[in-house]
Copies of this chain bind each other. A is one copy, B any other.
Amino acid sequence: MSASQLPAKSSAEAAPLAQFQRIRSSRAFDEIAAQIRTELASGRLAVGSRLPSERALSEQFGVSRNTLREALRSLEHAGLIRLQKGARGGAFISQHSGEAIATGLMDMYHVGTIQPAQLTEARIWLESIVVREACRRATAADIDMLNRNIDEAQEARRRGDFASRAERHIEFHRMLARLTDNPIMVIVMNGVLDVLAHFVQRIGEYDNSFVLPSRRRFMEHFAAGDADAAVAEMESCLKRLQRSYMSRIQAAEGAPAAKAASRARRNPPAAQR
């Protein structure tokens, strides 16, 4: 492979591998992450390309491998790189990102920066945009897809499967967001819906028998291309849901232990104040 780095100084290769400079300020890994970000922003590092191995990179930057790894950790968490073990592995520039935004919103909720009322409020605002734009762009196939989702939700309701029904309902909104064909709306809406799903799971079952009839009415307007009516129907439904959430939240305020964490705890808990 031509990309192999040998200690022997060969002349500059034509490969897109960047020449990184030595770092200077405190917190070397911040500098390193910033330099790699700069390379990425400049276009010299395209999606799919592979950074040199940790050992090679740490030598290029003139830092230890541990420090370099902390920089990579930061970039990986941001969704910019994906790390792969084994021969031919390494750090690959990744496309998706987006996930970091969803977890960011979730963190803000957990830490109390976002209150439930603000969450549902923003959701209603965003949804009005999404519906309007989705209505403008939806094809017949898209409308079929949405109708299928409603059928599935109805089937889940018939079975008394609350979890599945809730999941279908949320998936409906994700579909609408995707129909806008705008990654910002998709990402933000997905993040908000993630938090909302978490929130709904915490407050438990609630009365949403009015949702399915509303969905049917919504789809009539939507299929007819009547964006205003579709938005109005959706907004009315969401506001009713919001009232339902808010009335339930006082009850759930006391016991926040509703997390079905299936994760295996093999180590002592981290808590200590």
Chain A interface (Cβ < 8 Å from any Cβ of B):
1-3, 29, 31-32, 34-52, 57, 60-62, 66, 69-70, 73-74, 77-80, 88, 92-105, 107-108, 110-114, 118-119, 121-122, 125-126, 128-129, 133, 174, 182-185, 187-188, 190, 192, 194, 256-257, 259-261, 263, 265-273
Q: How far is the CA of A2 from the CA of B102 in the complex (A)?
A: 11
26 A-B residue pairs with CB within 8 Å: A1-B99, A29-B73, A32-B270, A35-B267, A36-B270, A40-B110, A43-B259, A47-B111, A47-B269, A48-B268, A49-B269, A49-B271, A60-B267, A62-B267, A62-B268, A66-B69, A78-B104, A80-B107, A92-B271, A97-B108, A97-B111, A98-B104, A98-B108, A105-B184, A118-B184, A126-B129
Q: Measured between C-beta atoms, what is the minimum distance from A196 to chain B in Å? A: 11
User: Is A104 touching B100 in the complex (CB atoms < 8 A)?
Assistant: yes
User: Is A1 touching B194 in the complex (CB atoms < 8 A)?
Assistant: yes
A129 contacts across to B, CB distance below 8 A: 125-126, 128-129
Q: How far is the CA of A57 from the CA of B126 in the complex (A)?
A: 41
Q: Which 9 pairs show the lowest CB-CB distances between chains A and B? A: A43-B260, A122-B184, A48-B268, A41-B110, A48-B271, A101-B104, A100-B104, A97-B108, A125-B129
For the complex formed by this chain, how many copies does it contain in all?
A: 2
Known: A95-B112, A100-B100. 17 other contacts (CB 8 A): A1-B99, A38-B263, A42-B256, A43-B256, A44-B271, A44-B273, A46-B268, A47-B269, A48-B268, A50-B272, A79-B104, A93-B111, A94-B111, A101-B101, A101-B104, A119-B184, A188-B188
A52 contacts across to B, CB distance below 8 A: 272
